[in-house]
């Protein structure tokens, strides 16, 4: 039995996390997962009160089975350092190399591209390398004639991390019906990182003859996601491109309100990862009851899947499908329901199973 660390965070984070905890209580009742929860206080409020204290990230990895994260980001901390320290810290210090961002269209009603060919078949996963690229914090400014004249943000790509992301993507492609994997990069303009990703992709492809591979430059991939989204199965990309493409892809299925994510170390069998919605703290709607809790509930569901709690995972997935087919939805999906009403609906659907 393990304990889940729950970090509600800022803005709508605590609002959507409250619904996840309700859902977990119902899942616990129905399936007896044995997973306890413990809320950790890290948020903008906490940082403003305590200052820039270090957080013992490795201890989180040792103490808990997984982290459920709401969102972090607050206008009072404009450089976002608390979010970088917690989210970046978890991803980098716990070596959560793989970030899965599944996008599945559950009902056509929520797709803004209803007219696009085969859009109803959209079922793709973005596998994003989660620890490197321009997010490593290597860089600086060169102060020439004027302050901040030159700014550098260095993208770091190691064979170790590239291989981990690629292997996870190949394994995932192998486990899905279409067995298809697309590498997205910008190797035509990135003569250092490009060949590393390309050569490792080709090398690993030799071990996965059952996976059909192709490649797109990121600009073309951004276009293809709108023009012919059903062509994609698993998409693998470095940190920055994966970040951007997964937000874009989420729109196909209804937007950030239904976009979940899982970040994990594929080799760690005791810490299952960090599970959080793709969206941020949405300060524009915080406190209004308009936040869609489904993305966080779906992230919780990814955690159940990763922990091997398949029956519980399937029950939550069915409940999400059922709610999305109905019309009690939050405003981002065209409804008028409140965050807690959608959470209650999910709970009832699970309990009725
Ligand atoms: P955001 O994802 O918070 O919001 C973008 C837009 O989507 C807003 O209009 C918001 O109202 C809407 N939205 C987001 N989640 C929603 C939900 N569950 N239901 C309904 N509507 C939703 O991104 P933004 O505005 O760029 O960033 C706000 C803050 O969040 C910033 O401080 C940013 O740094 C932080 N952030 C944190 C992330 C994290 O915790 N992993 C990820 C992305 C941003
Ligand atoms: Mg993002």
Domain edges within the chain: 1-98+259-353, 112-142+157-252
**CATH class as words, domain 112-142+157-252:** alpha beta
∠ CA 10-125-164, rounded to 5°:
90
Model confidence over 16-65: pLDDT tens digits? 999 999 999 999 999 999 999 999 999 999 999 998 778 899 999 999 99
Annotated catalytic residue, options 45, 247, 340, 344: 247
Question: Of all residues in the chain, what percent carry a pLDDT higher than 90?
Answer: 84
Q: Which atom of ligand 1 is nearest to the CA of 12?
A: 18
* 281 Cβ below 6 A of ligand 1: yes
Model confidence over 309-348: pLDDT tens digits? 999 999 999 999 999 999 999 999 999 999 999 999 999 9
- The pLDDT value recorded for residue 77 is 94
Looking at the DSSP bridge assignments, the partners of residue 139 are 153
- Give CA–CA dist 114/119, Å, rounded: 7
Q: Whose CA is nearest to atom 44 of ligand 1?
A: 280
How much is the average pLDDT of 176-205? 96
Q: Which atom of ligand 1 is nearest to the CA of 277?
A: 41
Q: Which atom of ligand 1 is nearest to the CA of 9?
A: 40
Instruction: Look at the pTM and tell me if it is higher than 0.90.
Output: yes
How much is the average pLDDT of 103-123? 84
**3-class SS of residue 325:** helix
In the predicted structure, residue 148 carries a pLDDT above the cut 70? no
- The pLDDT value recorded for residue 3 is 97
Banded model confidence at residue 147, pLDDT cuts 50, 70, 90: low
- The pLDDT value recorded for residue 112 is 78
| CATH fold match for the domains 1-98+259-353 and 112-142+157-252 | yes
In the predicted structure, residue 149 carries a pLDDT above the cut 80? no
- The pLDDT value recorded for residue 137 is 86
**3-class SS of residue 317:** helix
* 73 Cβ below 6 A of ligand 1: yes
Q: In the CATH scheme, what is the homologous superfamily, with its name and number, of domain 1-98+259-353?
A: Isopropylmalate Dehydrogenase (3.40.718.10)
Residue 328: count other Cβ atoms within 10 Å of its Cβ.
14
- 280 Cα–ligand 1 center, Å: 3
* 86 Cβ below 6 A of ligand 1: no
* 79 Cβ below 6 A of ligand 1: no
- The pLDDT value recorded for residue 140 is 83
Residue linked to tokens 């404009």 = 78
Lowest mean pLDDT among 27-41, 56-70, 95-109, 165-179: 95-109
Banded model confidence at residue 108, pLDDT cuts 50, 70, 90: confident
- Give CA–CA dist 7/100, Å, rounded: 19
């Amino acid at each position: 039995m393990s304990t889940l660390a729950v970090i509600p965070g800022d803005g709508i984070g605590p609002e959507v996390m409250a619904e996840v905890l309700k859902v977990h209580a119902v899942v616990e009742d129905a399936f007896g997962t044995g997973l306890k929860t413990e809320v950790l206080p890290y948020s903008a409020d906490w940082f403003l009160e305590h200052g820039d204290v270090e957080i013992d990230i490795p201890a989180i990895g040792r103490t808990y089975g997984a982290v459920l994260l709401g969102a972090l980001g607050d206008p009072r901390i404009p450089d976002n350092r608390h979010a970088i320290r917690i989210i970046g810290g978890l991803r980098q210090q716990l070596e959560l190399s793989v970030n899965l961002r599944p996008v599945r269209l559950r009902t056509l009603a929520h797709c803004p591209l209803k007219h696009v060919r085969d859009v109803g078949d959209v079922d793709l996963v973005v596998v994003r390398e989660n620890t490197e690229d321009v997010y490593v914090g290597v860089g600086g400014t060169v102060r020439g004639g004027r302050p901040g004249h030159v700014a550098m943000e260095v993208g770091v790509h190691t064979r170790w991390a590239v291989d981990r992301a690629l292997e996870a993507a190949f394994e995932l492609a192998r486990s899905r019906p279409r067995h298809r994997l697309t590498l997205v990069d910008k190797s035509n303009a990135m003569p250092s990182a490009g060949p590393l990703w390309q050569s490792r992709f080709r090398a690993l492809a030799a071990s996965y003859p059952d996976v059909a591979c192709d490649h797109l430059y990121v600009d073309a991939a951004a276009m293809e996601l709108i023009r012919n989204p059903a062509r994609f199965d698993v998409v693998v990309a470095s940190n920055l491109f994966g970040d951007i493409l997964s937000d874009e892809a989420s729109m196909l299925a209804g937007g950030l309100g239904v976009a979940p994510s899982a970040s994990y170390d594929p080799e760690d069998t005791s810490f299952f990862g960090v599970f959080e919605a793709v969206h941020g703290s949405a300060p524009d709607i915080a406190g209004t009851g308009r936040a869609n809790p489904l993305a966080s509930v779906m992230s919780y569901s990814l955690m159940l899947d990763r922990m091997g709690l398949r029956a519980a995972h399937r029950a939550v997935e069915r409940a999400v499908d059922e709610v999305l087919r109905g019309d009690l939805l939050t405003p981002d999906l065209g409804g008028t329901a409140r965050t807690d009403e959608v959470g209650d609906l999910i709970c009832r659907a699970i309990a009725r199973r």
